[in-house]
Structure 1
Amino acid sequence: MIVWDEKKNIKLKLERNISFETVSDIILNKQYLDILDNPSRADQNLFVIEVNKYIYAVPFIIDKESNIVLKTIFPSRKLNKKYGGKND
């Protein structure tokens, strides 16, 4: 199961025009580009996804119940360059 904080989701929709629902669909359909270790936090990994021709990082953890817990979504210039996003 994929879970997230609904308050954070509302904030992401308002501030970044992206949502955890969109990310969840991408993950469930196995359309993510990669899964990486999070260099900033040893306990997290990152889904690398493409939305609207730009590459986003989605930090997540696996909780005790084996849920994927999405933490946030942010556009990444570094990953955009690496994975070939269209809006450089």
Structure 2
Amino acid sequence: MLTVVERFVDRMVVWLLMYGEAKLMLILYLRHPSTRGARHVYDGFLRLLLARHEDNIDRCLLELRARVRDVTPSQWRLSSVRCGSS
């Protein structure tokens, strides 16, 4: 999902001067241990957002896990039939 968003945003703002350099500086800020940029972003924004929607996220993950359990055996059988008939 983030890759799709990044590619869309890249195409929209690539014409800005120094966009590539600014993007590189942001990545370095987020990744470098001495700046702890990712920690600042998480503590300042993401943690609050995730906490606000925690119940919904947990419910969706449980539903997804149940769907995967239901689909997986049927997909395995289908794959084995396809491989066996090839």
Q: TM-score range by the shorter chain?
A: under 0.3
Q: TM-score, normalised by structure 2?
A: 0.26
Query: Whose helix proportion is higher, 1 or 2?
Result: 2
Higher relative contact order (CA 8 A, sep 6+): 1
Query: Whose strand proportion is higher, 1 or 2?
Result: 1
Q: TM-score, normalised by structure 1?
A: 0.26
Q: Based on CA coordinates, which of the two structures has the bigger radius of gyration? A: 2
